[in-house]
Amino acid sequence: MRHDLNLTIDRPTFVTHLECSLTGERYEADRLHGLSAAGKPLLVRYDLDGVKAALTKDALAARPMDLWRWRELLPVRHTKNIVSLGEQATPLIPLPRTAARIGGSGTLLAKDEGRLPTASFKARGLVMAVSMAKELGVTQVAMPTNGNAGAALAAYAAVAGMEAIIFCPADTPEVNVREIAAQGARVYRVNGLIDDCGAIVGEGAKQRGWFDFSTLKEPYRIEGKKTMGLELAEQLGWELPDAIFYPTGGGTGLIGMWKAFDELEKIGFIGSKRPKMFAVQAEGCAPMVRAFEAGEEFAPRWENAHTIASGIRVPRAVGDFLILRAVRESGGAALAVSDEAIAAAVRDVARDDGLLMCPEGGATLAAYQRALDEGLIARDARVVLFNCASGLKYPLEDQSRTLDRHAPIDFAAL
């Protein structure tokens, strides 16, 4: 079997239309769209009866293990427009010592998205968005970013031959800023937060004609991110876990997974069981948590946002109501954790189970411990945490010691 089979063979496509996530208004497929007339994200809809007739579990199992094996449930029509850097399936890493230490007796797994191109789960959304932008004739794209999304856009835009202009908060991790520039994008540091950067992108779209790649302001990042849910279901033998803890800024992945589970049920691959979805935020930027606890449908902007987990430092999310809807329908919750708990989680899981989590991934572990302590999930539940990027992309505490090779060495003290 060729390693690039999914990237080279034409397969049937089943997109029927796009739909406003708030009003249900229909939009024509195969045309360039941003937000709906209501200012809300558009969702891609498929002929799921057609998918059911065309795709079997056995046929899927015979394909290479990459993101593009799900072609029947993805929006790209023409194989020639696929832009890829090798989006392989990411592993589920058992965390038995971590679970035992914090009192869990079930199965605790981390889906390690840091194995993807550009070392983060942003590759899933941006590979799909850029592929569709290529298919629809886009040549110039712009985006606000807290780091990893901008790196993924820069990489895929380079492959597609597109011009990319990216704006990030001034305190974005240095490795991300340099990574973006190294991959050919123009990157600007802005004295503000990600939504301030987004305002610049929006104005540039009006004045310069940039296509706005802001989170959920085009329809296809959701379709890329939903592959996390498709992949997870297959990896677990088509039985979903009891709970998923997901680091939530813009929330594209949580929304996408919830959509994926619905589509999988309608094509007969899974039953009606759903995991409890936990949207995890930092105490210094927790608009979803505040809205969830207040019983609100939309989340007002969080002022003075701050956290060490820069990827979830998103003061306002355009898909807020979709995040909250999924959390509530699943019986889950939106939880906030402190920066201290995040840092401790990153440190402890590395020592216990050898997995170097990013701060956002650490937030999910801290939230899992809180959910156990508060009785929000059973201690024997099967739980999946999403580690959204490689921990190597973030500053690490220097815990090394020095040794003078010229002086006497007390080996008993080492």
Question: Residue 385: which pLDDT band, with cuts at 50, 70 and 90?
Answer: very high
CA–CA distance, 326 with 323 (Å, rounded to integer): 5
Q: Is the predicted pLDDT of residue 1 greater than 80, yes or no?
A: no
Average confidence (pLDDT) over 327-346: 98
CA angle 239, 243, 245 (to 5 degrees): 130
| DSSP per-residue letters across 75-136 | ----GGG---S--BPPPEEE-HHHHHHHT--S-EEEEEGGGSGGGBTHHHHHHHHHHHHHHT
pLDDT of residue 397: 83
Beta-sheet strand order (sheet of 42-46): 26-27, 15-20, 42-46
For 278, the 3-state DSSP assignment is: strand
Q: Looking at the chain, how many residues does it have?
A: 414
Rg, the chain, Cα only: 21
- Taking the CB of residue 59, how many other CB atoms lie within 10 A of it? 11
Average confidence (pLDDT) over 132-138: 97
DSSP state of 328: H
CA 296, distance to chain mean position in Å, is 24
pLDDT of residue 2: 85
Task: Tell me if the pTM is above 0.85.
Answer: yes
Residue-wise pLDDT tens digits, 23-34: 999 999 999 999
For 337, the 3-state DSSP assignment is: strand
CA–CA distance, 58 with 98 (Å, rounded to integer): 35
Structure tokens at 340: 């201290």
Residue-wise pLDDT tens digits, 33-53: 999 999 999 999 999 999 999
Question: Residue 336: which pLDDT band, with cuts at 50, 70 and 90?
Answer: very high
For 345, the 3-state DSSP assignment is: helix
Q: By the 8 A CB rule, do 33 and 219 touch?
A: yes
Tokens 């508060």 sit on residue: 374
Q: Which domains does the chain have, with CATH numbers?
A: 92-117+221-393 (3.40.50.1100)
Query: From residue 316, how far is each of 203, 246, 291, 324 by CA, in Å?
Result: 18, 17, 11, 13
Query: From residue 20, how far is each of 37, 41, 127, 208, 346 by CA, in Å?
Result: 8, 6, 22, 26, 38
